[in-house]
């Protein structure tokens, strides 16, 4: 199986700081019982979350505030 790199993830995420936050949040979700979004047997949670981001399964959700 090919190795996952930060550069693979940065094709989907604009900067490294956001990438770190996304990976950390996804790892927490996985450890709390979330199902894997990609097939990645025998990998640690951090590698699985990076594979999910590189595959485009995890995206950035921007908060939009409504002014009333």
Question: Rounded distance, CA 40 to CA 31, Å?
Answer: 15
CA–centroid distance for 62 within its chain = 15
End-to-end CA distance of the chain: 51
Q: Is 67 exposed, middle or buried (0-12, 13-18, 19+ CB in 10 A)?
A: exposed
pLDDT, one tens digit per residue, over 12-50 is 998 999 999 999 999 999 999 999 999 888 889 999 999
Would you list the domain boundaries of the chain? 6-54
Neighbours of 34 (CB within 10 A): 13
Query: Is this structure's pTM higher than 0.85?
Result: no
Q: Which CATH architecture fits 6-54?
A: Alpha-Beta Complex (3.90)
């Amino acid at each position: 199986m090919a190795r996952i790199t930060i550069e693979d993830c940065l094709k989907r995420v604009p900067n490294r700081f956001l990438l770190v936050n996304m990976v950390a949040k996804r790892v927490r979700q996985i450890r709390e019982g979330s199902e894997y979004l990609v097939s990645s047997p025998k990998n640690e949670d951090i590698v699985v979350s990076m594979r999910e981001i590189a595959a485009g399964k995890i995206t950035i959700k921007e908060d939009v505030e409504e002014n009333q």
